[in-house]
């Protein structure tokens, strides 16, 4: 074989190797994408079931059936049901807590030393409600799940603490600056009432629909967003400004 032929053969071999590597890379990418898609589907369906039936009302087999896979696949991805539940909860918790923290930081930077109660609450509440307005049914399922977790002291409190304490305490810090003369105890009670209203909203029980004869709808997050922060701000101002019975 002449020199030219050897060079041509070498070049062809090199090109073949490159093509082979590209094919392998695409296969790896495809497998990774397929795995990611499967994981998202599992988390979505598990989220739906957990939001309806809670931690103890769902089995891995229930999730597998809804996804349309054998339950051994879930055992491969998750050590047990609680591991799956925790991952479902954490997936969106990091999004809402990060967004609210950023909104609170941006708000305080914008107003400097003169925050208002309503301004702080709008950064905290409206930013969260926007996720449920814009995110569709999947986010609303997560909201219902969050309401369930928040009202489950045996195992839910720890999840809420680990994921949301930093952003809640950031809100409290700004409220203290907005209400410098308000007893700290009343600010915490005010937050307690705020989070209670938010959890009832996220639960979407339909009770307000029945009570109002359809005038109000529990999934009308736009209407809730337009009212909640203003209503809660008035409550803070009332308990911080009105005479209080000694506790």
d(CA 163, CA 1): 69
Buried-exposed string 9-41: b where 16+ CB fall within 10 A, e elsewhere: eeeeeeeeeeeeeeeeeeeeeeeeeeeeeeeee
- Quick one: what percent of the chain has pLDDT higher than 90? 74
Q: Is 60:74 a contact under the CB 8 Å cutoff?
A: yes
Q: Is 169:178 a contact under the CB 8 Å cutoff?
A: no
Residues 73-97: tens digit of each pLDDT: 888 889 899 999 999 999 999 999 9
Tokens standing for 9?
A: 């053969």
pLDDT of residue 8: 52
pLDDT of residue 247: 44
- pTM for this entry: 0.83
Q: Tell whether the model's pLDDT for residue 29 goes beyond 70.
A: no
pLDDT of residue 148: 94
Residue 32: pLDDT band with limits 50, 70, 90: confident
CA 42 to chain CA centroid, Å, is 17
Residues 110-155: tens digit of each pLDDT: 999 999 999 999 999 999 999 999 998 999 999 999 999 999 988 8
Burial class from Cβ neighbours inside 10 Å (0-12, 13-18, 19+) for residue 216 reads middle
Q: Is 8:50 a contact under the CB 8 Å cutoff?
A: no
Q: Tell whether the model's pLDDT for residue 225 goes beyond 70.
A: yes
pLDDT of residue 110: 97
- Name which of 1-15, 53-67, 81-95, 146-160 the model is least confident about: 1-15
pLDDT of residue 75: 87
Who has greater pLDDT, 70 or 102? 102
Residues 196-222: tens digit of each pLDDT: 999 999 999 999 999 999 999 999 999
Who has greater pLDDT, 6 or 34? 34
Q: Is 131:139 a contact under the CB 8 Å cutoff?
A: yes
Residue 5: pLDDT band with limits 50, 70, 90: low
Residue 21: pLDDT band with limits 50, 70, 90: low
């Amino acid at each position: 074989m002449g020199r030219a032929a050897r060079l041509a053969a070498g070049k062809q071999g090199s090109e073949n190797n490159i093509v082979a590597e590209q094919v392998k890379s695409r296969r790896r990418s495809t497998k990774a994408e397929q795995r990611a898609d499967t994981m998202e589907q599992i988390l979505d369906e598990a989220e739906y079931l957990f939001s309806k039936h809670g931690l103890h009302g769902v089995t891995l087999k229930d999730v597998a059936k809804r996804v349309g896979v054998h339950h051994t696949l879930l055992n491969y991805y998750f050590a047990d049901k609680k591991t799956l539940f925790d991952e479902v909860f954490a997936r969106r918790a990091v999004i809402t807590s990060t967004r609210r923290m950023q909104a609170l930081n941006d708000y305080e930077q914008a107003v400097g030393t003169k925050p208002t109660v309503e301004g702080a609450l709008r950064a905290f509440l409206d930013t969260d409600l926007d996720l449920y307005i814009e995110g569709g049914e999947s986010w609303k399922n997560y909201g219902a799940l969050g309401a369930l977790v928040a009202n489950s002291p045996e195992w839910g409190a720890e999840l809420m603490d680990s994921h949301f304490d930093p952003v809640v305490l950031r809100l409290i810090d700004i409220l203290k600056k907005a209400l410098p003369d308000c007893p700290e105890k009343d600010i915490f009670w005010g937050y307690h009432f705020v989070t209670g209203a938010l959890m009832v909203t996220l639960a979407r029980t339909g009770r307000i629909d029945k009570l109002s004869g359809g005038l109000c709808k529990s999934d009308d997050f736009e209407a809730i967003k337009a009212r909640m922060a203003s209503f809660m701000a008035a409550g803070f101002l009332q308990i911080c400004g009105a005479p209080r019975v000694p506790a």
